[in-house]
Structure 1
């Protein structure tokens, strides 16, 4: 029987709002799994994916094929869901405090009292996931190929997850330092050297506009197949042989807008560029040809992400490419510090 383990947190007015959570309990030994989506509330794709996956899990549990347990939180952030401004949801940061919803989980988890509502929500979410052996956090980028962040401790065995999800790129990281959810959950595993039988990753499910049945069904099927292969569900599923490009975090090349203006891409997601090849331009003052800045690739690689809007501010990230050497802009930490 599926357990409803939903819990309440306080919104900005101090009123209770619910975080929906369900647990599928198995009848045999197996890993404890925590799956969640929507920590950044404007990243919607994973919510539909987990909604569809739960339908498969209900059938598997009813047939006695779930081993261990699977906790699913398909819409993890009720605080950000309500933040609509001029017809657009702004779910990356908390309106009242400016807190990035996926930063500072480590500090919130350690607090005893005097918490803001964001910190209370973060602490309860960490407590829910802390007993898990497997944690997958579903996100989406602006416009992007599907890709995965995975700590070096879980590579190369994380390749099977990336392949099952048909992800083009796996970004391997070592140090974060910003208290993201993934980093907070795996921190005790790393301290105690308990990573061999565990798995954690942040899955980027393409771009924020890529919410449709076709992609969601593909991703839910991929997650289900991977859970079968990992021993969570007793069902034989052949492993995927999807090619995955593994890239060191520091080798990812982020191109920053040198000026504001109209953004025109000349390359599509997945395209390979050579070092010095043009891939986009920014028109600062339409009507003035001399105001156009051409953007060039810093090194050879594949175009993985693009800025979603076509009017960009100076200093914003235009695009990210894979690379084969350390980026000259790399200074450690995570790929997107903000």
Structure 2
């Protein structure tokens, strides 16, 4: 029979008892520990909210020019990038159609003169004369059309942006199918970029705040240190039934032509200032899975109570309050998102 080593047993039991006593003597945290927070006194102030959009830069005027009848391109009088004036000659087309139209006019004129003489001698019916007269008038119109189509002039001041055809090639007004798409770009494209425009889509709420002439600021990622000042030039008259948005046009003067169509820009529109309640965005608790928002009101005994609020615009980490708060109330700012109702707080000094 094995003998028990009593000294070893006593030492082991003593160590176990000391450890157990030490664990049981650890102080328990108080049930109502104070949570450090920073607070904010609710008040109203002048608030100027901003709306933020992005979009592609577009030319102020843009025209793809082409004759209304077929013709062979004889000569371009301008090159890509050239500046053009209103009415300036751009392209000359062959005179084949004009020659044909002139010949048809001469034949129609001869028929008309003959018919007029025969009618005076009662040799033809009035109906036959009317047909000859109509053919003559139609031939005159065709000749004038062919004459205009032989030359392409610029409709406005601008820049030659593209040429879609080369000298010697035949232009036809018939739409062309390329890559499954129907297109007919014309012969030459002229754009005016003295002013640049950006088309944006706004929601119903945003639309109610906008007016023609409101200030807009344009920023480009490729020019991080520059900005351009413009304004709202047009506001649409009906909402898109699918997107529930309204089209709005914003324009920016471009006297040095540093802005180019196709660039991507970010636009800030400054709304009218208003007197309203503003709180720090950090004070707002966004309830996950819902569209509701709340803040924590500080009560007299330094406890907190949640309250639902309705938000307006958010700008520069400040939030406009539509409803739910009154001036003079104290809310939790920093630390609000760690709280629950009836928590005790310790108010800390703001940095």
TM-score by length of 1: 0.20
Tell me which of the two structures has the higher relative contact order, counting C-alpha pairs closer than 8 angstroms and 6 or more residues apart: 2
> Normalising by structure 2, what TM-score?
0.20
